[in-house]
Amino acid sequence: MKTVKDYVITIPDFPEEGIMFRDITSVLQDADGFHLAIEEMQKRLDGVEFDVIAGAESRGFIFGAPLAYNLGKPFVPIRKKGKLPRETVSKEYALEYGTATIEMHKDAIKPGQRVVLIDDLIATGGTVKACAELIEELGGEVVKILFLMELAGLNGRDTLKGYDVDAVVTYEGK
């Protein structure tokens, strides 16, 4: 029986020498692989009490929206700055070279809502940490952060210390 890892194609030396790029498009391009990815992520939500699924742009949408649909929960997109039409709240965070800003609609999370945060990959954890802080600023509680893949060698869990973090597939390196 195949696992999600079997559907992930690894491209050595991309985008630069020494990097092992883990490509999720190979999972998405195979109906069985995509179905399995959603099933495996959904299993990790068994027993978790939550009200809302939030997903980080853009690949968090790919996995978060079907999970929300399957579980009968609302889906909240967390977008790059300038993409949302109504009043927003924003959070700036550090990148390797510079900064970026994410936004949510100001009314997307109600105080006291329990939120599962979804993204495709945890590397350093900076983007998702900013997402979690934005949810908390609106009064939400992040009860779980779930990824399809984790690059454990980049220590993203350290950045997300204090949160319940899980991943379907873990790669030990970078």
SS3 90: strand
Q: Which two tokens stand for residue 106?
A: 């100001």
Residue position matching structure tokens 């999720």: 24
Q: Give the integer Cα–Cα distance in Å for 98 and 164.
A: 28
59 classed as catalytic: yes
137 classed as catalytic: no
- Identify the burial level of 100 via C-beta atoms within 10 angstroms of its C-beta, where 0-12 means exposed, 13-18 middle and 19 or more buried: middle
In the set 59, 79, 103, 150, the catalytic residue is: 59
Q: Give the integer Cα–Cα distance in Å for 169 and 23.
A: 12
In the set 16, 49, 96, 172, the catalytic residue is: 96
Which residue numbers are catalytic? Answer: 59, 96
